Structure 1
């Protein structure tokens, strides 16, 4: 039987076959955008009554309270909790999934709760650069202006008509979390959208 380390080495990310396209698909200039896949990120779903003793235990385990409103996130000690619903969160973490699930289940105590490893359910596509917001606005119906979508916001929305979790880290840094089965479609759409942000060639500028 293969050991865990061997299985991890054999893993293929949802965008493995597009690695070269993604690596070479960024653009430079005033509206620069770069795309990077962050595969195999630990993601744990938590469902629990937010007013329960178990919820407070999870707050302590994470080092920050679970967010309570749409779009809110909370971060501490390598964990970020993203609000998905009144009693549902996604914890994105630097810890390994198995230990985090065990830790959060223990923290919930006797309170009814669901703590499930969803790491294989999604991948993370990072968009960075001054053109990142503009690229997303081409296919996302949400208002991404900083007044409505400040740093640290994460929402369920759609991109190119595909459901995604969209997380704004800062002004020039977004994370798109599509389901693994739709990741290649989303990445291909993003690469196509990014091309429109490339600087005009000298010949095109001369003919303008």
Structure 2
């Protein structure tokens, strides 16, 4: 079996106002169905080992998490090597119900933006109110990052996790690097 390779082979940029690094490989399963149904909730939480998220939130710890993607969709995250077994477990739990589970691990690129100016870097690129009073750790958004769709959440007060399609991974990494250039602080958010 070959080793998984991330979109940018774990690229990193550390010379700016925030650190930008590719994270991966990350195990990701799209799970669609009735999010109020116990079989969906139980299968997602048993794989991710975190509480079920509120609407527009992501609960994550280390490599595991559940992100609320839409009224009928979750992104369940686990270690990359566990995805086949996790997918089998989910499919067994939902087999008698209207639901869909798909491995999207290799179709996505994942980045981390961290540091005291991470919020500012993200605000330069996304049409989302990122003021500390409006967007706090655990909150999740699907949006556009410049010209491409992306999703992100705050892992903590200075760390964002960004997910995009693998095919635009280089573009997103380059956007983040440009937004994090040295001396590019705008000073819009209090430190």
> Which category of TM-score, normalised to the shorter sequence, fits these structures?
0.7 to 0.9
- The answer to which structure has the higher strand fraction is 2
Question: Residue by residue, what CA displacement relative to the aligned partner does 1:29-50 show, whole Å, maximum 9, x if unpaired?
Answer: xxx4111111220000001112
1-side partners of 2:45 and 2:154: how far apart?
A: 25
CA displacement at 1:139 relative to structure 2: 1.2
1:67 Cα offset (Å)? 2.8
Distance change in 2, residues 1:105/1:132 (3 Å): same
1:80-102 CA-to-partner distances (Å, cap 9, x unmatched) read 11011111100111262101111
Match of 1:154 among 140, 145, 148: 140
Decide which of 6, 12, 15 is 2:8's aligned counterpart: 15
Report what 1:169 is aligned to: 155
Alignment of 1:78-97 (within 5 A): 79-94=64-79, 96-97=82-83
Sort the Cα spacing of 1:12 and 1:131 in 2 relative to 1 into closer, same or farther, 3 A.
same
Which residue in 2 is equivalent to 1:42?
Answer: 27
Unaligned runs of 5+ in 1: 200-208
Larger radius of gyration between Structure 1 and Structure 2: 1
**Partner Cα separation in structure 2 for residue 37 and residue 77 of structure 1:** 15
C-alpha separation in 2, matches of 1:27 and 1:72: 30
Classify 1:198/1:61 alpha carbon distance in 2 versus 1 (closer, same or farther; 3 Å). Answer: same
More helix by share: 1
1:66 positional shift: 3.4
Q: Confirm whether residue 100 of structure 1 aligns to residue 86 of structure 2.
A: yes
Look up the SS of the partner of 1:92 in the other structure: strand
C-alpha RMSD over aligned residues: 2.3
Q: Which TM-score applies when normalising by structure 1?
A: 0.78
Aligned residues: 183
**SS of equivalent to 1:175:** strand
Gaps of 5+ in 2: 186-191
Give 1:12 shift. Answer: 3.2
